[in-house]
Chain A
Amino acid sequence: MAQPGDQPPRTNAERAQEPDDMLLIQRTREGDRTAFDQLIRRHERRVYNLAYRLCGNPDDAADVAADAFVRVYNSLASFRGDASFLTWIYRITTNIYLDARKRKRARPQVSLDELVEMDDSAITRQYEDHAPLPGEVAELNERGRALQDAVSRLPDYQRVMVVMYHVEGKSYEEIAAAAGLPIGTVKSRLNRARLALRDLLKDQMELF
């Protein structure tokens, strides 16, 4: 799905010169680390983008995206190529995100990190003049920011579906297959998610 901010499409000549993902995977299995580096370069933006849309902040997104590539690296032996490499790493990214959420819920106490953030407002202010972290430039417009904030407030099961549909560009059928749910359930959950977003954004609908 073409999206604003997408990288310019590669020309056919460029594409022809590039080894495809399967070849790079094969070379990585044979111990060629530059091949995996090429895979990272090729897919890191989309993987990070997916993680960012799920997590809603650049730090957690980078953490999830990095772990996703590490897990992919460690399980390349089991990759059969039934789905595309991107589909595979998308699924791994989503699972890592959900695992991290589960761990967080299991330890609900306020972490030291949060305490530090609270008394660091003076420090934070000093950084306003610096270039923002790369992920923070993502939401250039108010609309994107409002939408991402609202998505981040959805319960996980709705958030994951919204991201699969609207960010990964998966069809209802593909989501149903990936989630092991009837297609009707996927459709009604997504409909409810959109109505929930409308509720969350009710004071900002003029942005859309």
Chain B
Amino acid sequence: MKCDRALELVSAYCEGGLGVALSVPFEAHLAGCDGCRAAADDVARLHRGLSALPLVSAPDALRVEIWRRIDVAERPAVPARRFVWRLGPARIAVAAAGAALIVALAGRTVLPGAFRSAGWSHWLTGGQTARLQPQASGVPFAAGAISLQTDKAGVTLSVPVTNTSKSPVVFSASVAQGDGDDAPTVTVPPGMSAVLSASVADGSNATRLNVRWKQGPVTGVAEYSPRR
């Protein structure tokens, strides 16, 4: 028996599925061939290792995600919305943004948790929330829990923010890879709140919620990123 033939038979040998007619010449070959003996030994160990791979647990959110997809598929189509803004108190100050110089980048906050946009499967499913936290010192706002809604058009992430400082803060939110520079802005006066929402179409590659804020010359970004 040659090595090529012996290597063809190693799995059958490990499984005891080699008839007498083949196992005698096979074993005779192994006795005189270190290479094939090592291969047979390794394949036997891999065989056992593969069959002993543990049964991994499904993520808790899998069931929720399955129902979300079933619901989305069953829901009638609605027109796609791009961005949705809902303002809390009715009084909104005039935006003081203009072309002020950006002199500092403050309060880059990275958040635990994940959201899902189609093509990905990061988990922040219906009923679950994640908190935009903690606030770095000097950040002029506090944020509440992030919530997620899905519809036929895609995913909408919403987060309530409250201006905790003494001067207006201009916010924008986007679900995007890039800067989200084209996202609409909203100015929140001191002590006031707004709900920032940003939608993203199902199938998008977007991977994070960016909450940008600007107060006078100071800007910052709070990011809510999927966990990898």
Give the size category of B's interface with A: 35 or more
Say yes or no: B46 contacts A194, CB within 8 Å: yes
Stretch in contact with the other chain, from B56-64, B89-97, B99-107: B56-64
How far is A44 from B52 in the complex, measured between Cα atoms in Å? Answer: 20
Measured between beta carbons, the chain B residues less than 8 angstroms from A140 are: 54
The answer on a CB contact under 8 Å between B207 and A208 is no
Q: Is the interface of A mostly helix, strand, loop or mixed?
A: helix
Q: Which residues of the partner chain A approach B218 to less than 8 Å between Cβ atoms?
A: none
In the assembled complex, which residues on chain A have CB atoms less than 8 Å from the CB atom of B69? Answer: 66-67, 70
Residues on A with C-beta less than 8 A from B119 are 113
Chain B residue at minimal CB-CB distance from A112: B205
Q: Are B39 and A3 in contact (CB under 8 A)?
A: no
Task: Assess whether A108 is interfacial by the CB under 8 Å rule.
Answer: no
Binds B, one of A19-27, A91-99, A126-134, A173-181: A126-134
Find chain B residues with CB under 8 A from A127 CB.
Answer: 112, 227-228
Bound form: Cα–Cα A41–B120 in Å: 22
Give the contacting residue for A70; candidates B70, B121, B228; CB below 8 A: B70
Residues of chain A from 31 to 77 with CB closer than 8 A to chain B in the complex: 37, 40-41, 44-49, 52-53, 58-60, 62-63, 65-67, 69-70, 73-74
Q: Are B60 and A198 in contact (CB under 8 A)?
A: no
Q: Which residues of B contact A143 (CB under 8 A)?
A: 49
Chain B residue contacts of A166, Cβ below 8 A: 50-51, 53
Per the bound structure, the CA–CA distance linking A22 and B114 in Å amounts to: 36
Q: How far is the CB of A119 from chain B (nearest CB, A)?
A: 10
State whether A66 touches B66 (Cβ < 8 A): yes
- Also in contact, A66 and B56, with CB within 8 A (given A116-B207, A208-B46): no
Interface string of A196-208 (1 = CB under 8 A from B): 0110010001001
A195 touches B7 (CB 8 A): yes
Cβ-neighbour of B228 out of A46, A66, A112, A124 (below 8 A): A124
B225 at the interface (CB under 8 A from A): yes
B110 at the interface (CB under 8 A from A): yes
Residues from chain A with a CB closer than 8 A to the CB of B39 are 195, 198
Report B178-214 CB contacts with A as 1/0, cut-off 8 Å: 0000000000000000000000000001011000000
Asked if A156 CB lies within 8 Å of chain B CBs, one says no
- Chain A residues with CB under 8 Å of chain B are 1, 3-7, 37, 40-41, 44-49, 52-53, 58-60, 62-63, 65-67, 69-70, 73-74, 111-113, 115-117, 120, 123-124, 126-127, 130, 133-135, 137-140, 143-144, 147-148, 151, 162, 165-167, 187-188, 190-191, 194-195, 197-198, 201, 205, 208
16 further A-B contacts with Cβ under 8 Å, apart from A117-B228, A120-B225, are: A7-B55, A37-B67, A44-B63, A45-B57, A58-B59, A62-B62, A63-B121, A112-B177, A112-B207, A133-B59, A148-B53, A166-B53, A167-B53, A198-B42, A198-B46, A208-B49
